[in-house]
């Protein structure tokens, strides 16, 4: 299995979540109401699964390895774009959480902002995923030997194994600090 296979499988789950978020953003637009529990869960999914787990593997394993290679101008450009899109997604999710928190505190003027921020993520992810799947991941495997690919795949599995401990270690530390 190529090291990109798990990344492409993860894309399918992210796409499913984006469809759910699109439906929710449309509902917010129709009803003028935000469901804070939905925003919490969607933001957690994007932050933990899409960003920390998925983008984390891309950035910490694949992209790191690619930076050691002499990439074509096209692949170097796409790599920069992907990193910019990751940063953009992080910013939008942070803004979404902030808007949702203001909504919960009674600021109902944030309804449109919440819907707009969700729409921004809904717009970003399908294009981002298509770029990776069709124009980047597979062609970039040519930069690596079979052994390098196998090492990246093993590193990816180790990354996944540690992520749950990282997430819930942080949860416990935060709760301990609030006592």
Q: Give whole-number Cα distances, 150 to 8, 53, 69, 141, 163, in Å.
A: 16, 19, 17, 11, 20
Contact present, 44 and 93 (Cβ < 8 Å): no
DSSP per-residue string spanning 32-68: ----HHHHHHHHHIIIIIIIIIIIHHIIIIIIHHHTT
pLDDT category at 33 given cuts 50, 70, 90 is: very high
Between helices 36-44 and 5-31, what is the axis angle to 10°?
Answer: 160
DSSP, collapsed to helix, strand or coil, labels residue 105 as coil
Q: Model's pTM, two decimal places?
A: 0.91
Tell me which of 139 and 178 has the higher pLDDT.
Answer: 139
**What's the CA gap between 130 and 178, in Å, rounded?**
42
Domains defined for the chain, CATH in brackets: 5-177 (1.20.120.520)
Cβ-proximal residues to 78 (8 Å cutoff; 6+ apart), any chain: 131, 135, 136
CB burial class (10 A; 0-12, 13-18, 19+) of residue 155?
A: middle
Any idea which residue has 């902002």 for tokens?
A: 113
- Indicate if the pLDDT at residue 179 is higher than 80: no
pLDDT per residue over 71-130, tens digit each?
A: 999 999 999 999 999 999 999 999 999 999 999 999 999 999 999 999 999 999 999 999
**Percent of the chain scored above 70 by pLDDT?**
99
């Amino acid at each position: 299995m190529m090291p990109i296979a798990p990344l492409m499988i993860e894309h399918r789950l992210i796409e499913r979540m984006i469809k759910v978020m699109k439906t929710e953003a449309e509902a917010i637009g129709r009803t003028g109401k935000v469901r804070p529990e939905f925003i919490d869960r969607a933001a957690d999914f994007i932050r933990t699964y899409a960003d920390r787990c998925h983008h984390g593997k891309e950035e910490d394993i694949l992209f790191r390895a690619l930076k050691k290679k002499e990439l074509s101008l096209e692949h170097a450009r796409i790599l920069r774009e992907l990193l910019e899109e990751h940063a953009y997604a992080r910013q939008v999710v942070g803004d979404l959480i902030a808007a949702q928190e203001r909504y919960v505190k009674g600021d109902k003027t944030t309804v449109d902002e919440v819907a707009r921020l969700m729409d921004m993520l809904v717009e970003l992810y399908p294009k981002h995923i298509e770029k990776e799947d069709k124009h980047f991941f597979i062609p970039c495997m040519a930069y690596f030997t079979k052994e390098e690919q196998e090492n990246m795949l093993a590193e990816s599995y180790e990354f996944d194994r540690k992520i749950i401990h990282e997430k819930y270690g942080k949860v416990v530390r935060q709760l301990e600090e609030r006592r």
